[in-house]
Amino acid sequence: MKRAGMILAAGMILAAAAMAQTAAPKPGPELKKLDVFVGTWTLDGNMKASMMGPAGTMTEIEKCEWMEGGFYLVCHSDYKGSMGAGVGLSVMGYSADDKVYTYREFNSYGEFDDSKGTLDGDTWTWTNDEKMASMTMKGRFTMHMTSAASYTFAFDMSQDGTKWSTVMDGKASKK
């Protein structure tokens, strides 16, 4: 019995030593491309009348910073628009398995957004499925970087993924 305890203790020491020698994972190069979003952004948009709500303007202040470890960008937003005011929390990252960027947002309206993103040149495109009552719509948020401190954006929706209607567009600038 004493011998089994010694073998177990030795095994635990070897396992701990092996874990200590294993380097912590490091963020991949794809994550560096999200650096452009670090900081405080002001978004000014125009809402079109749609099933998402009435036409009007919207403003948003978004503050983004890297989470410890550098794998996720965490953003806090405060917004006002034709549907009222609210706050949101979003997390951006990269899925090495799926080879896509990820965006997950939760807001004070009780909504949850789970999008996949791609970067083509200076244009980010985020797509998702939007559940609206009994129907599911396709959503597409496009951001065209006009500089390191500004971009234009458009949010489009589609029932079938082929015919798109713009429900919001605008511009964003970094402070």
pLDDT of the residue at 50: 80
Burial of 124 (0-12, 13-18, 19+ CB in 10 A): buried
Mean confidence (pLDDT) of the chain: 90
pLDDT at 73 over 80: yes
Burial annotation 146-172 (CB, 10 A radius, 16+ → b, else e): eeeeebebbbbbeeeeeeeeebbebeb
Mean pLDDT of 153-162: 94
Tell me if the pTM is above 0.85. no
Q: What DSSP designation does 51 have?
A: T
Residue whose C-alpha is closest to residue 121's, from 92, 142, 95: 142
pLDDT of the residue at 9: 57
Domain 28-174 is in which class? mainly beta
Most confident of 17-21, 108-112, 113-117: 113-117
pLDDT of the residue at 173: 98
